[in-house]
Structure 1
Amino acid sequence: MSFGNIYWLYAFPPVLVVLLLIFYHTHKVRQSLIKSFASPTLLPTLLSSYSDGRHNLKSFLFLLSLLFIFIALAQPRYGYTWVDQTSKGVDIVFAVDVSKSMLAEDVKPNRLERAKYGILDLIPKLEGNRLGLIAFSSIAFLQCPLTLDYNAFTESLKQTDPGVLNRGGTDIAAAIRAAIPVFSKENNHRILIIISDGEDLEKSGIEEAQKAAKDNISIYTVGVGTPSGELIPIKNTDTSTDFMRDSEGNIVKTKLDEATLTKIAESTGGFYTPLGIKGEGLENIYESVIRYLDKQDLSSTLRQVPIKRFQWPLAIAIILLICQMLISTRSRKIIKHAPHIVAFLFLLNPLPQDLNASPTKAYKSFEAN
């Protein structure tokens, strides 16, 4: 057995303690009020119809019914059933640049890690859509095929780093070519999101993007880094830090190429956006495009769903409450002792002052008649 919201069970003990304190305080106040109305010798007669046992039983049944209400609220689940679930959404492939230039730290902690954080933050909003992942530098590799398993996608994304390909350079065209066969032919909406600093060394990204547009693939580019550029740190084996150099020994400075990324996106009807400090660029693509696309059937699978059993404890709680209401704290002896009770109530109400008898006034009234 499992529970859909077990916190209700955690909440019952403190509620029970509070109710017991209230019951105890109420009992003390009631006893004090009863003693103030009559003498100790008269109380047993007046309260002979009242049963402490029945009162305690009513309180117990109430608390027990409350326990079963809390169990019902905790949504107990027992057993499973199979449900045919059809997923609706669109196909989205992320192509992440893992070249050495993505290690530049002009955004923190570096360009690549910032891009991965942005995708991770967006995943909850993409539920229902199939996600795929391509890592690329001078070559491209399908890191994760299109899937509805977001845990598998997340693990693949976390493992994405320059060591995956171990190749230098950046070829955005290679990423586009690798993405085309990944998409399903049946889905009309195919989204390719390229996250890169835009340094397309092969300069063939725009041409390949135009080919992708013919396959109904919309490309959206996300720029990571700054136009002013940054050096690329290299960790040496002795833990010291150096910077990447070209073949002539000069330190390389990598810059964000927004112009190239813009042309690649616009050639397919998409657009370019900078990633931003908190991944606002990816959020912009979702809010502007993805959320408004018509969702299509992606797959039909049998899913094991737990059976909710809240009806059982709820029914028990209702039965206990009915029993609690049917039990009276007084016995039928109340009819036998009715005269005593009436006398007791009469004594509690003093006579009005104008009803006091006067012998003199009575004699004068007799003589007048």
Structure 2
Amino acid sequence: MNNFAFEYPYVLILLLLVICIYKCPVTLKQIIFPHIHLFSKKTSLINKEKLLYSLILTLLIFSLASPIIYDQKTSSKRKGRDLVFALDTSGSMAESGFNPENVQNRKFDALKELLRSFITKRYNDNVGVSIFGTYAYPAIPLSYDMGSVAFLLDFFDVGIAGDSTAIGEGLAMALKILKKGEAKEKVIILITDGYQNSGAVSVKEAVQKAKKQHVKIYTIGIGDRSAFDANLLQLIAKNTDAKMFEAKNVKMLQDIYKEIDKLEPSAIRSKHYLNKQNLYMYPLSLASLLLLYLVLKRKKELL
């Protein structure tokens, strides 16, 4: 399916100049169109000529905005990385006080809000989410549709997977999601506020699988340091060539997301088109023909 777009849409603001053809003072018209006198001085034709001037100017501006058509079907082949968030939804995530500006706000609510902002800026990545508590499950499969991923976060809540903390199973499920991806770079971001106290999969086993699959695991412990297993999170990150972070509050978590964004940058997709075909020659050619028509018409009147 072909899609239409302008590479430089901001150029279209110049269409406001069309108004000048009808409303601007004569002196201003002469500045914008210094050779307008070459076309006609007859008032009987002024409306028709204004229409032609407007059409020519519009076509030239469209040409400058660089119209293109491109094929969106192959957009899934964008470069980037497969990125899966392993989110802790155990009972302790319902604790408040994580956000000093909103003391009643739960830890998990603040986490989702910041995560949504982070995800929508991953322009060229394939993002998925695994949820873990007493057990784990794949909440969101890998997707390029960041809007949908951010939207689906609203359907998750504390206790949705039980009140315990099965970190090993959360990682194992994230790895299972990553197996569906085709990107060369694969990353897991583990976010938890507790200790491993549940699940049939050990953290050691999950980390060994991650190393075999060449997956980096960034770990984030949130809340007081005594609440989560900092040594375990440090070991997970170190063994997968990643980094461990600690976030006592919302501001620290926000800074962590920014640092991860720098460590694992995402390519910009806004200027990436597939099977692109430039169309600027069509409006440019039509504008040239209309200008030629006006010049020949004026020349005929002068003879």
With normalisation by structure 2, the TM-score equals 0.70
User: In the alignment, residue 236 of structure 2 is paired with which amino acid?
Assistant: I
Match of 1:99 in 2: 90
Structure with higher Rg: it is 1
Match of 1:121 in 2: 117
Q: Is 1:282–2:257 an aligned residue pair?
A: yes
Match of 2:216 in 1: 218
User: In the alignment, residue 224 of structure 1 is paired with which amino acid?
Assistant: I
Q: Is 1:322–2:292 an aligned residue pair?
A: yes
1:173-208 per-position Cα deviation (integer Å, ceiling 9, x unaligned):
121222333333876543221011133334986423
Alpha-carbon offset, residue 139 of structure 1: 0.8
- Contact preservation (8 Å) 2:67, 2:280: yes
Structure 1 pair 272–24 and aligned structure 2 pair: CA distance change class (3 A): same
Structure 1 pair 189–306 and aligned structure 2 pair: CA distance change class (3 A): closer
1:137-286 matched pairs, under 5 angstroms: 137-165=133-161, 167-184=162-179, 189-202=185-198, 206-215=203-212, 216-227=214-225, 255-275=227-247, 277=251, 279-286=254-261
- Contact preservation (8 Å) 1:4, 1:74: no
Could you say what secondary structure the match of 1:4 adopts? strand
Structure 1 pair 318–175 and aligned structure 2 pair: CA distance change class (3 A): same
Equivalent pairs counted in the alignment come to 272
Distance (whole Å) between structure 2 residues aligned to residue 219 and residue 330 of structure 1:
78
Could you say what secondary structure the match of 1:169 adopts? coil
Match of 2:270 in 1: none
Match of 2:53 in 1: 62
User: In the alignment, residue 280 of structure 1 is paired with which amino acid?
Assistant: D
Structure 1 pair 179–331 and aligned structure 2 pair: CA distance change class (3 A): closer
Match of 1:331 in 2: 302
Distance (whole Å) between structure 1 residues aligned to residue 90 and residue 118 of structure 2:
23
Could you say what secondary structure the match of 1:170 adopts? coil
Match of 1:291 in 2: 265
Structure 1 pair 51–134 and aligned structure 2 pair: CA distance change class (3 A): closer
- Contact preservation (8 Å) 1:173, 1:206: yes
1:293-308 matched pairs, under 5 angstroms: none
Alpha-carbon offset, residue 104 of structure 1: 1.7
Alpha-carbon offset, residue 330 of structure 1: 7.4
Alpha-carbon offset, residue 140 of structure 1: 0.6
Point out where structure 1 has 5 or more consecutive residues left out of the alignment: 28-49, 229-254, 294-302, 333-369
Distance (whole Å) between structure 1 residues aligned to residue 195 and residue 165 of structure 2:
6
1:141-180 per-position Cα deviation (integer Å, ceiling 9, x unaligned):
1101223333443333232212532x11112112122233
Q: Is 1:312–2:303 an aligned residue pair?
A: no
Distance (whole Å) between structure 2 residues aligned to residue 205 and residue 292 of structure 1:
31
Alpha-carbon offset, residue 3 of structure 1: 6.2
With normalisation by structure 1, the TM-score equals 0.59
User: Sequence identity, in percent?
Assistant: 23
